[in-house]
Structure 1
Amino acid sequence: MFARFTEDARKAVVRAGILALDAGRPALEADLMVLGLAEVRPFTLTSFTASASDVRERVDVGDARSLLATLGIDLDLVHRRTRIGADAPGAWRLRRSRLRPLRVTLYGPLGQIPLAMHARKVIEVAQWRPGPITGEHLIWGLLADWSNGAARILRDSGVDLPELVREIGMPVRRAA
């Protein structure tokens, strides 16, 4: 499923998967997709003003870092030493199950994690648009489903959502 993804868009999805695995989550959810996009920034959108730290404050990524620090262990140092090359996008695969077509799983050197319903919808909506799948397409997928919480995270992080929607060229439904 990664065949049409640009390298940077693929990095953002892989980063979200690594964050989900590190947090011990049972599935990759839309909130971590937002954080992955904020960290990698695979786009040139001026209206996406949220920094990775702004988004991280609003997303639960676990608290292993502070717990290990009390024991004198630097988690960042451990990751640098043990994960060399594990975050390379080419080492990861995104696959749909043949037996369960609604199940999409991210496989990589650090493990595998299924995509929760909202994260799967992000990928599927991004694929509807023609051409290569970019970071803008992923944001389109995030904002296409207002029930996934991504819009709230972005709004609370200071993003002007109407401007972001205009900048990515997303059609806006008007109430009758």
Structure 2
Amino acid sequence: MLDRFTPEARRAFVRAGILAHDARPEGGRFGTDALLLALAEQRPFAGPVAAFTLTPDAVPLAATPGRDLLATLGIDLDEVRRRTRHGVDDPARWHLDRLLLRLTLRGPLGDLPLTLHLRKVVEVAAWKPGPITGERLLWGLLADARNGAARTLRTAGVDLAALVAQAGVPVRRAA
């Protein structure tokens, strides 16, 4: 299923999976918070989306367990990961698999089941024919108010109306 993603959106989605794994290495699930953080880091948009002013530090994602303890011992966890994870971020090594209603990102770090909310994001992004872009991932995040993405964006000072207009999010009008 990752083959429907544009190269930029695929890289961002894989980055989100890596972030989710690092925040919950004991087998947690891959959720919308990680995707929002990856979009803030990667900016995988085909055109200018100036209203997406979110910065990575404004996205609440659980800190990596043990990072502070390792730092007190003089161990830089980011440096260890950089040296030992060569090629983990290569999108070609990752696959998004569907089994009935479950979606799982599978790759070098293991299996990362998507949460219900993130599965909805992917379904909305894949709804129309054509490639899944960064803008379409934004559509998915904004389509379901219960996933918390709009709240995070609003808290970070993002103008949601401008973001919807610039990202080309389809808006259903009342009859």
Same fold (TM over 0.5): yes
Say whether residues 1:143 and 2:147 are aligned partners.
no
CA contact (8 A) 2:30 2:112 kept: yes
* In 1, Cα distance between equivalents of 2:173 and 2:164: 13
* In 2, Cα distance between equivalents of 1:173 and 1:86: 39
Gapped regions of structure 1 (runs ≥ 5): none
Structure 1 stretches of 4+ moved >4 Å = 173-176
- Judged with a 3 Å threshold, the aligned counterparts in structure 2 of structure 1 residues 66 and 175 are, in CA distance, closer, same or farther, namely farther
Match of 2:56 among 52, 55, 59: 52
* In 1, Cα distance between equivalents of 2:86 and 2:103: 26
**Match in the other structure for 1:102:** 101
Superposed CA RMSD: 1.6
Count of matched residue pairs: 171
**Match in the other structure for 1:77:** 79
CA contact (8 A) 2:136 2:169 kept: no
CA contact (8 A) 1:6 1:132 kept: yes
CA contact (8 A) 2:106 2:112 kept: yes
CA contact (8 A) 1:16 1:33 kept: yes
- Letter of the 2:161 counterpart: P
**Match in the other structure for 2:120:** 121
* In 1, Cα distance between equivalents of 2:127 and 2:93: 25
Say whether residues 1:8 and 2:8 are aligned partners.
yes
**Could you give the per-residue CA deviations for residues 114-141 of structure 1, whole angstroms, max 9, x where no partner exists?**
0000001111110012321110000001
* In 1, Cα distance between equivalents of 2:170 and 2:103: 27
CA contact (8 A) 2:4 2:130 kept: yes
3-state SS in 2 of match to 1:3: helix
* In 2, Cα distance between equivalents of 1:150 and 1:120: 14
**Match in the other structure for 1:30:** 32
CA contact (8 A) 1:2 1:93 kept: yes
Gapped regions of structure 2 (runs ≥ 5): none
Deviation at 1:102, TM superposition (A): 1.0
CA contact (8 A) 2:142 2:149 kept: yes
3-state SS in 1 of match to 2:18: helix
**TM-score for the superposition, normalised by structure 1:** 0.91
* In 2, Cα distance between equivalents of 1:64 and 1:174: 48
* In 1, Cα distance between equivalents of 2:127 and 2:63: 30
**Could you give the per-residue CA deviations for residues 79-112 of structure 1, whole angstroms, max 9, x where no partner exists?**
1110011111111000001xxx111100011111
Say whether residues 1:153 and 2:152 are aligned partners.
yes
